[in-house]
Amino acid sequence: MSQPYHAFVAGFADLLAKGRQLPLGDVAPAVCLPLPETAPWALVFSPHPDDESIIGALPLRLRREAGFRVAVVAVTQGSKAERQAERLEEMRGACGYLGFDLLTTGEHGLSGINPTVRRAEPLAWKESVHVAARIIKEHKPRVIVVPHELDGHSTHQGTNLLVMDALRELGPDFACHVVLAEYWAALVTPNLMVESTPAEVADLMTAISFHKGEVARNPYHVLLPSWMSDNVRRGSELVGGLGGVGVDFTFATLYRIAWWNGQELVAPTHGSGSLAAGGDLAALIG
């Protein structure tokens, strides 16, 4: 009798190899319903071009299912000056494919978005905070998506600090949901697991593939389904409860949702748990 797991793993490896041969970008935008002028805003603060697509499961569902206008804030355009203009255009293609708006923070994006600059160069940091605060004040989002404070990349951590400082600058009269996302380091205490359908995962993969310069050197877009499947393993225990029955999702993204009350992040009164494909987004965002 043949060993069935050998065939399974070999087939999986073959599938990944075929995925690396798929074309990059240059795909017509996915179909999105038009939005009224009164549509609520969700802002995704993307540390680098490509993060908007990697952590985009919830924003994509907000756009398609809840009628949100999703805008991606290009916090930086990468650290390589010679690639910044190109990376912004790649980001524009990815956002256009998903039906997201794109907001820039300057001709070349912001620089020095990391904890070290925040400590050592307070005046420069304050100017960057002003930029983020102006964007939030102008759009008055009901939802902000941003990496969590311990995400394992200094620019991701800096982007979290940037947004939190901007919210403090806006004062006590502004409140919204803040959704903390993970990529480089896992959330210790996620409280929200968002399922994605295979079609949604394919659209997120396609959007990542628009970042041609990045995936040409490291085809991480092909690994997105694997990452999202492993999120189901983690989320079933960390969100659903240790020792509980595994959630019957194939793909998911983990977040931590909180409420910014004008002064600090507090636990939400609703919206945590597992959100299945086609589930009630209104219960999540009130």
What does the domain layout of the chain look like in residue ranges?
A: 37-285
Enumerate residue ranges in the chain where pLDDT < 50.
none
Residues 281, 155: Cα–Cα separation, whole Å: 30
Q: What CATH number does the domain located at 37-285 have? A: 3.40.50.10320
Residues 169, 134: Cα–Cα separation, whole Å: 10
Residues 169, 263: Cα–Cα separation, whole Å: 10
Neighbours of 167 (CB within 10 A): 24
pLDDT tens-digit series, residues 147-197: 999 999 999 999 999 999 999 999 999 999 999 999 999 999 999 999 999
Q: Which residues contact 236 (CB under 8 A, 6 or more apart)?
A: 193, 244, 245, 246, 247
Record the tokens describing residue 210, joined without a space: 């628009």
- CA neighbor of 215 nearest in space, from 49, 10, 7: 49
pLDDT at 242: 78
